[in-house]
């Protein structure tokens, strides 16, 4: 249940992706005055699917977002999300199945959803007056007991608390870690590729493994492919 009492401190969120939007909703729902600053001209999420497991479902339910998220997915309700592991070669025989090894697999419910659809579900719950676009943060500083956020357009915003949700190239990170920042990001010799594919295309290509109901992991030597349904007949 939302808290109607208004808190006496303010929060600025830098970044309007999934994390920033969810944080804004949760804080606003708790009565915290919050403003969101997004560098883009509108809310947008880049990516393919997102798998929401049991713990995340409980968190969304506690934030009052679960019904909205499910309504934007292809599910009427959460479904079983335990993985099945199959060989990545040959006839794709089952290597391990969590469902068969668990006493109550039905308790591990989850939802697969398209990332932009997830963001849309959250953004629809936000008060438009708290959202500011074309606001790229350049720095955050502490002045007279307040946090000051500066933007490329020359404007500033003061708040009691700043939440950095501005991604891998974060401008807020330096304010948190300062000179203790780790070495610059470096390649780990591991690569991940994400994408969307219609389930029918895989069937026509000869894939016989059932992929429309549960997450499946095709495993191989030093590599793997994870597939899960996100709605609209896509994986």
Catalytic (active-site) positions: 194
Exposed/middle/buried for residue 16 (C-beta within 10 Å: 0-12, 13-18, 19+) = buried
- How far apart are alpha carbons 151 and 73 in whole angstroms? 35
Residue 173 bridge partners (DSSP): none
Q: Is the separation of the CB atoms in 48 and 196 below 8 Å?
A: yes
Of 59, 65, 72, 55, whose CA–CA distance to 29 is shortest?
Answer: 65
Contact 40, 64 (CB under 8 A): no
């Amino acid at each position: 249940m939302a808290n109607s009492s208004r808190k006496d401190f303010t929060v600025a969120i830098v970044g309007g992706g999934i994390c920033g939007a969810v944080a804004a909703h949760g804080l606003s729902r708790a009565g915290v005055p919050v403003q969101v600053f997004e560098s883009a001209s509108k809310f947008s999420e880049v990516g393919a699917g997102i798998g929401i497991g049991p713990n995340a479902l409980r968190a969304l339910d506690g934030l009052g977002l679960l019904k909205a998220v499910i309504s934007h997915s292809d599910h009427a309700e959460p479904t079983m999300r335990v993985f099945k592991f199959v060989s990545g070669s040959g006839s794709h025989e089952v290597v391990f199945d969590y469902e068969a090894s668990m006493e109550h697999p039905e308790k591990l419910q989850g939802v697969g959803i398209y990332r932009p659809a997830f963001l849309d579900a959250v953004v629809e719950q936000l008060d438009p007056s708290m959202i500011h676009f074309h606001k790229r943060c350049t720095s955050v500083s502490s002045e007279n007991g307040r946090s000051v956020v500066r933007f490329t357009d020359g404007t500033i915003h003061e708040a009691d608390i700043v939440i950095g949700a501005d991604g891998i190239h974060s401008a807020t990170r330096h304010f948190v870690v300062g000179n203790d920042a780790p070495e610059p990001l470096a390649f780990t010799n591991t690569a991940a590729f994400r994408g969307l594919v219609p389930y029918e295309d895989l069937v026509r290509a000869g894939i016989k493994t059932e992929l429309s109901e549960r997450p499946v992991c095709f495993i191989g030597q030093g590599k793997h492919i994870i597939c899960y349904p996100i709605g609209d007949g896509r994986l």
